[in-house]
Structure 1
Amino acid sequence: MGHSVSDEHDAKELDIASHHSSRRGDEFPSVHKVRLPPRQKLITEFTSMVKETLFADDPFRPFKDQSISRKLILGLQFLFPILEWGRHYNLQKFKGDLIAGLTIASLCIPQDIGYAKLANLDPQYGLYSSFVPPLIYAFMGSSRDIAIGPVAVVSLLLGTLLQNEIDPVANPVEYRRLAFTATFFAGITQATLGFFRLGFLIDFLSHAAIVGFMGGAAITIALQQLKGFLGVENFTKKTDIVSVMRSVWGSVHHGWNWQTILIGATFLAFLLLAKYIGKKKKNLFWVAAIAPLISVILSTFFVYITHADRHGVQIVKHIKKGINPSSVDQIYFTGGYVGKGFRIGIVAGMIALTEAVAIGRTFAAMKDYQLDGNKEMVALGVMNVAGSMTSCYVATGSFSRSAVNYMAGCQTAVSNIVMSAVVCLTLELITPLFKYTPNAILSSIIISAVISLIDYEAAHLIWKIDKLDFFACIGAFFGVIFASVEIGLLISVAISFAKILLQVTRPRTAILGNLPRTAIYRNVEQYPNAKKVPGIMIVRVDSAIYFSNSNYIKERILRWLGDDEEQLKANNQSRIEYLIVEMSPVTDIDTSGIHAMEELHGSLQKRDIQLVLANPGQVVIDKLYASKFTEVIGQDKIFLTVADAVMTFSPKMRVEEV
């Protein structure tokens, strides 16, 4: 029927063999035993727990049994993965990276100018953020496919949080300094999480919450672009849909500019068509990639030759020429703005980190290679710290550019270096040509880019799988569009934590029955043909038993017991004599859990019902033994399987093997 759960040497046994009575020993074959695992020293247990929590991937394994010089080389390769894969780099790989780098550069340049406006910064700061950070990431990052630069959601979030503290129009210098300060602390947050291997913290923001947050942010970003798309000068600084639509319709008679609308609508249609073509025919992905740059070139030329700027068409006007100036002296390291920068930086850094790691994992799975999440966090953190000192704001992995990078055939992070070089040349040579670029075209580019963030299919799938997850998704979505980005983020985090608390405090429990002609016991609700055993109630607890849920589990079992007793009495059937708790899903139990089990045992004794445990795991049986609970219920009441327990205590039932 089964085998012993551990080796015999060095193991104490809880002998619960079938000679519970001489009569049963003759009638039934010997049942199996639950063995107590070898006792470990406290320091060994603690070390094992820390290793499994923080070093589950065993990052120091390559350093074992290596010379000092070899360890130094491996350490450098660990910090700078380019030193490892760079040794095998060749011309063939460079061709793929060159094409991919040029392609994503054509996409990022117009996007960066628009995203800088989302962050309420001058256009050149968007370009700065696609020059230095991608270079640093290329040396330190472990993803082959991520394209680094500003992204829409982080730009909007940063702009919203910053303008709540400083007016970007009235105090542009202080606003810019606070942006660099927030970027510095965003980088510190990311690097710290990676260095201390705390990346699991970002997983607390559930997939459903992220889907809702991104969808709401996409709509908010698109609505914000109506200012440039319609040519409205006096536009609300609020991001909620009610304020935006009131601002839009309030200026319909005197604020809209028909030339601006014509430019925006025409090129938005062109961009959406290009994206549709690229999506339908994968080999034409480059059409969607270069469409934004083509739109900028054509619209700029059109405005220049028609002098449309004299007829109310708003233009970029000026982008500062030259590469990133130093901004070390502009970061607030003292004063009242340090705390504000720190708070904003943590929020922006965590969102940027979540997006980048999700993107990296997606493409790593598609190409079947491993992505070191903690190493990614360190790389992203270092690049943002360096970026804050070189006039950049928070940069991260962009999904749209990373997708283009992947489809263009990138081989390594060298594509980021190529993109960075093109941005550098643009800053040095081409920025004056953007003078007549209409704001409407930048709005159209951003609208076409963020539409893909609204994932209807994912939301529908979430609805079908888990209604509570869908509630988290919708809560985050409506929080963003009807309140603000930070409120939406707060709602998404709150609902995610509420779900965790609900699952922890109200774990699933089930009554088990026997599947006919087997020794298998399953949930009677899931398997209607599973039959309850006369005189025995079998309950399974699908969770660890902690202080947060121990009372609920005890009360749930007693309620079931009471209901069954009433039903049995009404039908004149034999009463319940044994309660078997199937504990294989119980991964752990704390002192509160053991206390609840003791209270359950006491309540059962008053009803003349015996408590029986089946298949407790290593950690659980160790704690039950240490607390002497095994002596309270009797070591002959602990079995390896439910079938063994039933075989011992139900002489009316025989288990037939199929």
Structure 2
Amino acid sequence: MKAGEGRVSSSGCSNMIENDLEMASVHKVSVRPPESMLHCIEGAVKETLFPDDPFRQFKNQPAKRKCFLGVQYLFPILEWAPKYSLKIFKSDLISGITIASLAIPQGISYAKLANLPPILGLYSSFVPPLIYAMLGSSRDLAVGTVAVVSLLIGSLIAKEISPAQNPQLALHLALTATFFAGIFQASMGIFRLGFVIDFLSHATIVGFMAGAATVVSLQQLKGILGLQHFTTETDIVSAMRSVWGQTHKWRWETIVLGISFLSFLLITRYISKKRPRLFWISAAAPLTTVILSSVLVYATHAEKHGVEIVGHLKSGLNPLTVESFMFEGKYLKTLVKTGLIIGIITLTEGIAVGRTFALFKNYNIDGNKEMIAIGMMNIVGSCTSCYITTGAFSRSAVNFNAGCKTAVSNIVMAIAVMITLLFLTPLFHYTPLVVLSSIIISAMLGLIDIPAAYHLWKVDKVDFLVCMGAYVGVVFGNIEIGLIIAVTISLLRLILHVSRPHTAVLGNIPNTTVYRNAEQYPDAARVPGILILRIDAPIYFSNASYLRERIMRWIMDEEERLAKMKEDTLQYVIIDMAPVTTVDTSGIRMLEELKKTVELTGLQLALSNPGSDLMEKLEKAKFTEFLGPNWLFLTVGEGVAVCSSLLQARKLNG
């Protein structure tokens, strides 16, 4: 049979059949009433920036009430403080003291990791938690310094200067970078740009955190082995070269001390993991190791035998550091870049941790409000001798398990740190650095989530590739390279999905009017003489050409199948447009070209179930007139019914 012979568009008899066919039972596809351009823009802005509709609570409220709600929105503490009770405080008191016992040794450890004075770790566990308690919306988030970001800020600054040779300049750069990070974070929250951090997928975070944990642990080999000099590079090759190139400088005293206390920390963590009710054992373990090791060093005078100690920690609360900011000079570009990177990482970790524990207690946290809270605590913190802070997973987990009820647990922790700063800092003088390295390694091992990586491999191989890309990039390159690799793979995947969307042939589920993917449902029956296709994505300039070619291949495959099985020839092509949320001008032009091409082969094109946005654009482009209003159907079932009736009428008319 020649192209078009005996088919719908080439037969005058067929035209008469179509004109005479009763179509009253077919529902007409409607177009929503036209809206003004301003209304459309307002709707788009609202859905992009205000999907949570934060202004709903202000509707139909008197002016005084609106003012109070506005202040309450900015300061969530005003929502729960009036309902606070002594019973709730008892829970928060226990939680706050528990996380303080963890925050104090970790703060000192992580400050050393960032190449900063240890006292800054305590400063950073005092002011930021107080700010977050007033502005944050999470009940469980425990605020403080984190190892990954401490390493990140330390390594980025070390590329510009030597912290060992110029510690004061390194301190000023770290505080200025923290200020820029806070400005960036708060601005994202104010301008409702929370969707930006969604580009760091779960797979990226799993790989990045595991890679960073590996790198941080490798860096701590300096303390475990008692080495004086160590590479400033963060990749595994440089770290291993630095370790094995100095075997003659390893000190057995620090190795024994480090391995002993690391084993103790790992054993306590294992016990708490097996028996969650004993969470306090692992929570108290870091402070216990600090106390025991300090007593041991003091009693044995180990500092005189090569065991390095923390040394003097000055007493007193956070001094103001506004005058330390460096907004001019050759370091400005590096500081802005560092602030941007650490700002994104801390936002991602803080919000992810907050949402995780909020899910356990069945409440919601506002991502944009969290950005403002985290940003403000870093802005204020940078002005009061604090470097970058966020919600730490380990401390938040302890806070959650300790039974915290509100953010008062952060206030209790801050008060405990304040007491330490005022009266107890001399007690840390003899704390060995090797024990701080053990505390860091113990915390980092918990961030290497092998079960999560295995889950990614089982569920989605591309996500696993993203995860491994982030891990390999961090471990063999640096943290920046790992992020770039992971984000690049994720964006390439997104582009691939957009440019090569899924299409499917639909069949009828027996004894129903339901049409589903014939590959997914083998029992779904093909309709004789009709090819039903579905496009599972919006139609844009990036995929229009591909979709046209893919649809034509579906048509050719169907014709070959019918010819091979000696069934009736193909007459109609129905495209289910339900998943097509929108279309651009390139997509409309593609549909016009597709209709012409299909008609040249003697087939009739029909569309079913176009959405409101899609239908509006097709109407404006006059494509509905070009296609013919009789070939737009509300459902696939109605389209099949009409086309089947036409086929039957043609057979009856010879």
TM-score (norm 1): 0.94
The alignment status of 1:226 with 2:240, answered yes or no, reads no
Decide whether the 8 Å contact of 1:459 with 1:470 is kept in 2.
Answer: yes
Q: State the one-letter code of the partner of 2:440.
A: I
Q: 1:155 maps to which residue?
A: 150
* Amino acid aligned to 1:232: L
Q: How much has 1:633 moved relative to structure 2? A: 0.8
CA contact (8 A) 1:20 1:648 kept: no
The code of the aligned residue for 2:628 comes to G
Is 2:46 the partner of 1:51? Answer: yes
Distance 2:314 2:453 in 1: 42
Aligned pairs (5 A) from 1:637-648: 637-648=631-642
Instruction: Give the paired residue count.
Output: 633
Match of 1:376 among 346, 363, 370: 370
Which of these residues, 627, 630, 639, is aligned with residue 624 of structure 2? 630
Q: Which amino acid is 1:299 matched to? A: S
- 2:454 is matched with which residue: 455, 460, 467? 460
**2:541 alignment partner in structure 1:** 547
Q: 2:179 corresponds to which residue?
A: 184
Shift of 1:121: 0.6
Shift of 1:653: 8.1
Question: What is the distance in 2 between the residues matched to 1:104 and 1:177?
Answer: 29
Q: Counterpart amino acid of 2:366? A: D
Secondary structure in 1 matching 2:249:
coil
Match of 1:111 in 2: 106
Mapped to 2, the partners of 1:439 and 1:352 lie a distance apart of 26
Which residue does 1:561 correspond to in 2? 555
Distance 1:653 1:533 in 2: 13
Q: Distance in 2 between matches of 1:372 and 1:395?
A: 19
Q: How does 1:487-526 map to 2 (within 5 A)?
A: 487-526=481-520
Structure 2 match to 1:421: 415
Q: Match of 2:506, SS?
A: strand
Query: CA-to-partner distance for each residue in 1:177-222, whole Å, 9 max, x for gaps?
Result: 1111110010011101100111011011110011000011111111
CA contact (8 A) 1:545 1:593 kept: yes
Matched, 1:297 2:302: no
2:281 corresponding residue in structure 1: 287
Residue 342 of structure 1, CA deviation: 1.0
Aligned position for 2:432: 438
**2: distance between equivalents of 1:455 and 1:415?**
28
Letter of the structure 2 residue corresponding to residue 306 of structure 1: T
Q: Give 1:360 deviation, angstroms.
A: 0.7
1:119-518 matched pairs, under 5 angstroms: 119-252=114-247, 254-518=248-512
Q: CA deviation at 1:29?
A: 8.1
Task: Name the CA distance, whole Å, in 2 between partners of 1:574 and 1:21.
Answer: 19
Cα distance, 1:424 vs. partner?
Answer: 1.1
Contact 1:202/1:350, CA 8 A, preserved across alignment: yes
Counterpart in the other structure of 1:13: none
Code of the residue aligned with 1:51 in structure 2: it is K
Mean CA deviation greater in 33-42 or 370-379: 33-42
Q: Give secondary structure in 1 for the equivalent of 2:150.
A: helix
TM-score, normalising length: structure 2: 0.95
- Greater shift, 314-323 or 459-468, is seen at 314-323
Q: Which amino acid aligns with 1:237?
A: T
- Describe the superposition over 1:320-370 as per-residue Cα deviations: whole angstroms up to 9, x where unpaired: 322111110111122232222111101100000000000111111111112
* Larger CA deviation: 645-654 vs 454-463: 645-654
Q: Mean alpha-carbon deviation: is it higher for 196-205 or for 545-554?
A: 545-554
- Cα distance in 2, alignment partners of residues 491 and 20 from structure 1: 60
Q: For residue 12 of structure 1, what is the aligned residue in structure 2?
A: none
Question: 1:276: how far off?
Answer: 1.1
Tell me the distance in 2 between the aligned counterparts of 1:543 and 1:149.
43
Residue 411 of structure 1 aligns to a residue in which SS?
Answer: coil
- In the alignment, what sits opposite 1:75? 70
Show the 5 A alignment for 1:20-39: 21=18, 24-25=21-22, 30-39=25-34
Aligned mates of 2:423, 2:492 — CA distance in 1: 53
Is 1:533 paired with 2:518?
Answer: no
Cα RMSD over matched residues?
1.6
Q: Which of 97, 104, 114 lines up with 1:102 in the alignment?
A: 97
Letter in 2 for 1:647: A
2:600 corresponds to: 606
Question: Gaps spanning 5+ residues in structure 2: where?
Answer: 1-15, 650-654
- In the alignment, the residues of structure 1 paired with residue 105 and residue 86 of structure 2 have an alpha-carbon distance, to the nearest angstrom, of 30
Looking at structure 1, the residues matched to 458 and 555 of structure 2 have their Cα atoms a distance apart, in angstroms, of: 33
Provide the C-alpha distance between the structure 2 equivalents of 1:573 and 1:278, rounded to a whole number of angstroms: 68
Query: In 1, distance between residues paired with 2:19 and 2:538?
Result: 36
Distance in 2, Cα, partners of 1:177 & 1:398: 24
Cα distance in 2 for partners of 1:421, 1:361 equals: 26
Task: Judge conservation of contact 1:154–1:348 (CA < 8 Å) in 2.
Answer: yes
Equivalent residue letter for 1:181: T
2:433, 2:459 → 1: CA distance?
42
CA shift, 1:491, in A, is 1.1
**2 CA distance for matches of 1:250 and 1:653?**
86
**Does structure 2 retain, via aligned residues, the 8 Å contact 1:213–1:473?**
yes
Distance of 2:157 and 2:493 partners within structure 1: 31
Q: Deviations over 1:618-644 (max 9, x none)?
A: 111111111100011101000011111
Deviations 1:41-76 (CA, angstroms, capped at 9, x unpaired): 111111111111111211112222323322222111
Deviation at 1:20, TM superposition (A): 7.6
Residue pair 1:77, 1:84 contacting (<8 A) in 2 also? yes
Other-structure match for 2:589? 595
How far apart, in 2, do the equivalents of 1:75 and 1:321 lie? 40
> Residues 572 and 92 of structure 1: is their aligned pair in 2 closer, same or farther, counting only changes over 3 Å?
same
1:244 alignment partner AA: A
Residue 12 of structure 2 is matched in structure 1 by: none
Measured against aligned partners, the alpha-carbon deviations of 1:65-95 in whole angstroms (never above 9, x if no partner) come to 3233222221111111112211111111111
The 10-residue stretch of structure 1 (173-182 or 289-298) with the greater mean CA deviation from structure 2 = 173-182
Q: CA deviation at 1:23?
A: 6.3
Distance 2:648 2:540 in 1: 34
How far did 1:571 drift?
A: 4.2
Give the Cα separation in 1 of the matches to 2:237 and 2:381. Answer: 36
8 Å contact from structure 1 (residues 277, 284) kept in 2 = yes
- Is contact 1:181–1:338 with CA below 8 Å preserved after alignment? no
The 10-residue stretch of structure 1 (101-110 or 598-607) with the greater mean CA deviation from structure 2: 598-607
The residue identity in structure 2 corresponding to 1:511 is V
